[in-house]
Structure 1
Amino acid sequence: MAGSEGLSVLGAPAILWKLHIVRQLRQRDRTQKALFQELVPAYNHLLEKAELLATFSEKLQLEPSEATPAPHKGSWEEESRPDSAGVSSPATLKEKWQEEEEGLRLVCGEMAYQVVEKSAALSTQQLQLEERQDRLAALEARVVQLQEARAQQARQVEEQRVKNVAQRAAYEDLRVRTGDQEAALRRLQEEASYVLEGLVQLKARAATERNLRLERRERANQARVSQELKKAAKRTVSISEVPDSLGKGIREGTETLALAGEPDSLESEACEKWKRPFRSASATSLTLSRCVDVVKGLLDFKKRRGHSIGGVPEQRYQSIPVCVAARLPVQVQDVLDAHLSEVNAVCFGPNSSLLATGGADRLIHLWNVVGGRLEANQTLEGAGGSITSVDMDPSGSQVLAATYNQAAQLWKVGEAHSKETLSGHKDKVTAAKFKLTRHQAVTGSRDRTVKEWDLGRAYCSRTINVLSYCNDVVCGDHIIISGHNDQKIRFWDSRGPCCTQVIPVQSRVTSLSLSHDQLHLLSCSRDDTLKVIDLRVSNIRQVFRADGFKCGSDWTKAVFSPDRRYAVAGSWDGALYIWDVDTGKLESTLRGPHWIVRRLLR
């Protein structure tokens, strides 16, 4: 059926052309017939008269030759005299014939002239008629095309109307379901808030009860030890008669003092006095009183905040492993599909046995590095957006990540869900780094601010307003260094409100890396260069370039090796470029799976 319709559509112009020719022929016949319908009878009448005159002229030419000539004078008289029979003379007839012939010639000339004019007018009208017929045929063809287009548009309108009806029904269904889901979400949020409040209350109650139990237990231990010491002070005893509980308490106390950093002389003195045999009651009483004081001091030292008992207090500054020498890698040791989307950030732990990776899938994966292989350890969930930066504290127990949802989030290693959310920025957070203590952190954002955070209270302790986007930050002992979009590296003193120094570079800063000795800073910028800045003189010491190296984005990272001997950066083509910091020479170019993928995509 579709084929016949196609043939009919294709054959329509040919049929119209034939009909046009037939109509033209018929119209020309009618026009010519109408024009010559009056001329043909007149022309026939003229032909008949011409034949009659020709006959008369022949007869008149023959009659004078056959008749007898008459005298000239009498002939004129005869001619002038009418015939007795009433018939006109030949001279008269000849004059009449000449007059009629002259009149007929005039009439024929006029009619011929009219015929010529009529023919010219006919040809002009015929040309106009042909033009109008051509226009009519073109208009008819255009009408046919427009009718077909109209029919097609009508079909499309009908189909679109059906689709609109279906989409409207689907939209209404989705709206109803969305309303139900929003109501369910509100209920779940309310339930979650109630559950969270209950959980917080339960935790607070449990902590309070635990503190009370520990306090009661500690008071009971203190009372028991005091009673035993008083009993022991009333009698003279040898070293073998010292109560086990007292000896255990003294040993625990001396161990605690050693861990807390007290001089070893106190422990040695106490041990020597208990090892010596007692020779008199006065000596024994003196020794026991000294022991009582020591034990009381130990018990008082073991008290901590919130009446809880613990070991040594937390160190504010953790020890950082020192790398003696770094070895250049030569090949890929392990390849894993870590995330569902792009991997935006990686970070090793302090001892390099734990690796954290963050990606656009809003997940952070922790990996154990065992024998050059990666083994899945844990997945940290709950990020509100794509991960842009990952950092681990000096103890390796916490993970800090910057996200696209205008916040940074904190996880504790071993717990899958986020511990704290540091919110306060107005744009995506591009960098989040721990300071040299795990209780403080610094974040940088595209809202042109750098913030310092107290992680114990999840509180922003300081906000630094900058004139440009912040792409990366690093932290020293009392200094914060930030790299910005306005081609500048800024230095901030943690103890002061103002910027202490500004170092300009040639292009936008994409990343910063601080050496372990805090004497050198490595920056990467969009002019396809890496720069080593000596912080002792605040001057650019080295500039690294290489053929093929290109900084492809505003978040391209460059880092020092642990021993600060090498500088490593990733290029847009998927390769890693490694420079020697001392000589400035390109040591190696590692082309792994990323380089192969980039080559295939190009």
Structure 2
Amino acid sequence: MAESSRLWRRCWKRHIVRQLKQRDRAQKALFLDLVQAYNKLLEKSNLDNFIAKLQTKSLDNQMGLPPASSTQESSDGAFDAVLDSAQRLVKRPSDPMVQLESINELAYRIYEWNILLKAKDAALEEQRGRLASLRGQVSDLEAKHRRLQGWVEERSRQNAAIKEGYDALRELYRRQDGEFRQEAERGLELLKQLMRQKVEAAEIENERIERAKQARLSKELKKATKTVVRIKTEPNEEKLDKQKMATQDVPEEENGEKLLRRPFRSASATSMTLTRYVDVFKGLLDFRLKRGNSISSMSTDRYCSIPCCVAACLPSTVSDIQEAHVSEINAIRFSPNSSMLATGGTDRLIRLWNVVGGRLENMQTLEGANGSITSVEFDPSGCHVLAATYNNAAQLWKLGDCQFKEILTGHTDKVTAAKFRSTQCQAVTGSRDRTVKEWDLGKGACSRTINVFSYCNDLVCCDPILISGHHDKTIRFWDSRAPRCTQVIPVEGKVTSLSISQDQMHLLSCSRDNALKVIDLRMHNIRQVFRVEGFKCSSDGTKAVFSPDKSYALVGSANGTLFLWNIETGKLETSLPGVHRSSVNAVAWIPSGTYIGSVDRSKTVVLWR
């Protein structure tokens, strides 16, 4: 019984072992195919992961992305360890139970790693999508780079074209600048030629007049030699009746001859000789020639009566105020007979005003100036106006004519002053071209040019002396009979204006050191200096004047106030503020002494009394 049970147990063990071996063989065969397929899958997965890692690493290096996490590296290492253990288990058989447990564990791990593989596949797809997105961005950046490169090339071509155009324009500018200089030189030469022609024409006209004069003189002399003059001595009571007929030529018959009663009555009538006739006719002809050369179209040079000022009136109130011009006013001047006022400004117009009853009535506008008016001046007769302009010339108008009568060209820069001399046939101008010119208005030509070393801002005339104020802080004296400067008086500032007294004994100067100076022309020294707080010389064209009786000095300031000093006491007599809204450029005192005028930069002219 015991033996049979022992045998049965042996058989049972062999049966169990045999079944286990069969199951092992059957399962091994099944799992062997699975393991082989899994090994191939793992090999392929490892290769793909390695390639993806290389690509991701290179892409991350190019794009500056961070490297993969350490968790992924550790999981990859664990997966490799499981793969190695599975391969060892398959290759090295052992106890069936151990193998079964190992196979179950391996199957579970395969399941886990299958899930992990799917996650890896998803991550791989995500990386591939990211790679595709980055490749798209790279493509966009490359396209943008190509567009920018094309834009740079286009800009380079445009810059090259612009540079070529600039070079061409610069070459054209150089050529035209050379042509302009040549034309300027040609214009200057034509101007000189014109001046020479005018001088020649004037000389020819003078020669013609002289020849006509000589012809008329010869004719008169021949007629005088053929005429018999008989003089009868008459009683004193009949002389008065005969003198009434002295200007009439009465033909008489005596012994068959035609007699002519002498048109002159004098104490020396009985001693009339041929020489006396020659002197008389020559005097008459000289008077007619002088009258013919006058710029006036009148039969004689009739001068208006000039009012005499015994004592100038101190201005205190505004008599009239007008907006005279459309822009800044630079000059103001009263006529010699005190009935008219002239103003000139940057609008290139000269306006004439009637001074009637303390009011300004617009009388006439003189047009034709080619530049801003810097100064205006009436001739001694009050029939002509001479103006200095910024177009390098001085222009002459006759009252009643709207167009200018004569233009005096020859300066090369702005003309700052233009004045008549003692007659209306002569004038003098000063300019910023460092010259002073004397003009013969009858011929319309320059008779003398004085070269100075500085700008001339203003000048006055007292025959035969010419006085000019300059930018180099000096006052110069010129004699018409001498070629050079006769006297120089230095002052402390740039001279802006000069005014000479009626007796021509004193000179008033205004300068940029904010002072007025009275100069004694007999001693050629500075007699008085006027300064006051608040007075400021506003420009190089600020004008100051004497009163007609030489008792006061008047000037306008940059703040619109008028200051008036007493010459005798040397003290400030009065000031007139609050009327002008801007700096006063010029002032003028009427010759009768009853009114003063002032103009400013805000287009206003004010008449004071």
Structure 1 position 239 matched with structure 2 position 220: no
Shift of 1:499: 2.7
The corresponding residue for 2:247 is: 249
The one-letter code sitting in structure 2 at the alignment partner of 1:541 is Q
The one-letter code sitting in structure 2 at the alignment partner of 1:99 is S
Change (3 A) 1:139 1:573: farther
The corresponding residue for 1:103 is: 106
The corresponding residue for 1:305 is: 286
Change (3 A) 1:115 1:522: farther
Shift of 1:451: 1.0
Q: Indicate the SS of the match to 2:395.
A: strand
Shift of 1:121: 5.6
Q: Counterparts in 2 of 1:13-28, with a 5 A limit? A: none
Q: Counterparts in 2 of 1:333-412, with a 5 A limit? A: 333-412=319-398
Asked whether the equivalents of residues 573 and 598 of structure 1 are also in contact (C-alpha less than 8 Å), the reply is no
The corresponding residue for 1:592 is: 579
1:474 to 452, 460, 469: 460
Asked whether the equivalents of residues 530 and 570 of structure 2 are also in contact (C-alpha less than 8 Å), the reply is no
The one-letter code sitting in structure 1 at the alignment partner of 2:572 is K
The corresponding residue for 1:564 is: 550
Inter-partner Cα distance in structure 1 for 2:426 and 2:22: 159
The corresponding residue for 1:500 is: 486
Please identify, of 589-598 and 495-504, the stretch whose mean Cα deviation from structure 2 is larger.
589-598
Asked whether the equivalents of residues 333 and 372 of structure 1 are also in contact (C-alpha less than 8 Å), the reply is yes
Q: Indicate the SS of the match to 2:319.
A: coil
Structure 1 position 458 matched with structure 2 position 444: yes
Sequence identity, in percent?
44
Inter-partner Cα distance in structure 2 for 1:359 and 1:104: 114
Q: Counterparts in 2 of 1:29-68, with a 5 A limit? A: none
2:528 to 541, 544, 548: 541
1:506-553 per-position Cα deviation (integer Å, ceiling 9, x unaligned):
443322222223343333333444333344242363142332x33333
Change (3 A) 1:424 1:125: same
Shift of 1:323: 3.2
Change (3 A) 1:243 1:559: closer
Shift of 1:445: 1.1
Inter-partner Cα distance in structure 1 for 2:330 and 2:317: 22
Asked whether the equivalents of residues 374 and 389 of structure 2 are also in contact (C-alpha less than 8 Å), the reply is yes
The one-letter code sitting in structure 2 at the alignment partner of 1:461 is S
Structure 1 position 554 matched with structure 2 position 554: no
Inter-partner Cα distance in structure 1 for 2:517 and 2:429: 23
The corresponding residue for 1:516 is: 502
Asked whether the equivalents of residues 496 and 510 of structure 2 are also in contact (C-alpha less than 8 Å), the reply is yes
Structure 1 position 81 matched with structure 2 position 62: no
1:251-280 per-position Cα deviation (integer Å, ceiling 9, x unaligned):
xxxxxxxxxxxxxxx99x96xxxxxxxxxx
Q: Counterparts in 2 of 1:253-272, with a 5 A limit? A: none
1:156-191 per-position Cα deviation (integer Å, ceiling 9, x unaligned):
xxxxxxxxxxxxxxxxxxxxxxxxxxxxxxxxxxxx
Q: Indicate the SS of the match to 1:304.
A: helix
Asked whether the equivalents of residues 82 and 89 of structure 1 are also in contact (C-alpha less than 8 Å), the reply is no
Inter-partner Cα distance in structure 1 for 2:276 and 2:329: 55
Inter-partner Cα distance in structure 2 for 1:461 and 1:387: 24
The one-letter code sitting in structure 2 at the alignment partner of 1:103 is L
Change (3 A) 1:359 1:289: same
Change (3 A) 1:336 1:107: same
Shift of 1:390: 0.8
The one-letter code sitting in structure 2 at the alignment partner of 1:98 is E
Q: Counterparts in 2 of 1:521-536, with a 5 A limit? A: 521-535=507-521, 536=523
Q: Indicate the SS of the match to 1:411.
A: strand
Inter-partner Cα distance in structure 2 for 1:358 and 1:86: 134
Please identify, of 292-301 and 589-598, the stretch whose mean Cα deviation from structure 2 is larger.
292-301
Shift of 1:424: 0.7
Inter-partner Cα distance in structure 1 for 2:275 and 2:603: 74
The one-letter code sitting in structure 1 at the alignment partner of 2:455 is Y
1:341-368 per-position Cα deviation (integer Å, ceiling 9, x unaligned):
4332111122322322223343333333
The one-letter code sitting in structure 2 at the alignment partner of 1:396 is G
Inter-partner Cα distance in structure 2 for 1:236 and 1:88: 197
The corresponding residue for 2:314 is: 328
The corresponding residue for 1:284 is: none
The one-letter code sitting in structure 1 at the alignment partner of 2:483 is P
The one-letter code sitting in structure 2 at the alignment partner of 1:239 is E
The one-letter code sitting in structure 1 at the alignment partner of 2:410 is G
User: TM-score, normalised to structure 1's length?
Assistant: 0.57
The one-letter code sitting in structure 2 at the alignment partner of 1:589 is L
- Between the two structures, name the one with larger relative contact order (CA 8 Å, sep ≥ 6): 2
Shift of 1:431: 0.7
Change (3 A) 1:574 1:119: farther
Please identify, of 480-489 and 417-426, the stretch whose mean Cα deviation from structure 2 is larger.
480-489
Change (3 A) 1:239 1:291: farther
The one-letter code sitting in structure 1 at the alignment partner of 2:372 is S
Asked whether the equivalents of residues 330 and 373 of structure 2 are also in contact (C-alpha less than 8 Å), the reply is yes
Asked whether the equivalents of residues 302 and 309 of structure 1 are also in contact (C-alpha less than 8 Å), the reply is no
Structure 2: state its 5+ residue gaps.
28-93, 144-201, 249-263, 295-299, 584-599, 605-609
More strand per residue: 1 or 2?
2
Shift of 1:122: 5.9
Q: Count the aligned residue pairs.
A: 435
1:26-55 per-position Cα deviation (integer Å, ceiling 9, x unaligned):
xxxxxxxxxxxxxxxxxxxxxxxxxxxxxx
Inter-partner Cα distance in structure 1 for 2:466 and 2:122: 106
Please, what is the CA RMSD of the aligned residues?
A: 5.4
Change (3 A) 1:75 1:349: same
Change (3 A) 1:337 1:219: farther
Inter-partner Cα distance in structure 2 for 1:310 and 1:600: 40
Change (3 A) 1:440 1:134: same
Asked whether the equivalents of residues 534 and 541 of structure 1 are also in contact (C-alpha less than 8 Å), the reply is no
Shift of 1:139: 13
Shift of 1:336: 3.4
The corresponding residue for 2:435 is: 449
Inter-partner Cα distance in structure 2 for 1:366 and 1:557: 19
Structure 1 position 484 matched with structure 2 position 463: no
User: TM-score, normalised to structure 2's length?
Assistant: 0.56
The corresponding residue for 1:196 is: none
Asked whether the equivalents of residues 318 and 436 of structure 1 are also in contact (C-alpha less than 8 Å), the reply is no
Asked whether the equivalents of residues 330 and 374 of structure 2 are also in contact (C-alpha less than 8 Å), the reply is yes
Asked whether the equivalents of residues 374 and 416 of structure 2 are also in contact (C-alpha less than 8 Å), the reply is yes
The one-letter code sitting in structure 2 at the alignment partner of 1:303 is L
The corresponding residue for 1:426 is: 412
Shift of 1:458: 2.2
Q: Indicate the SS of the match to 1:541.
A: strand
Asked whether the equivalents of residues 214 and 309 of structure 1 are also in contact (C-alpha less than 8 Å), the reply is no
Inter-partner Cα distance in structure 2 for 1:308 and 1:533: 40
Inter-partner Cα distance in structure 2 for 1:71 and 1:474: 164
Q: Indicate the SS of the match to 1:98.
A: helix
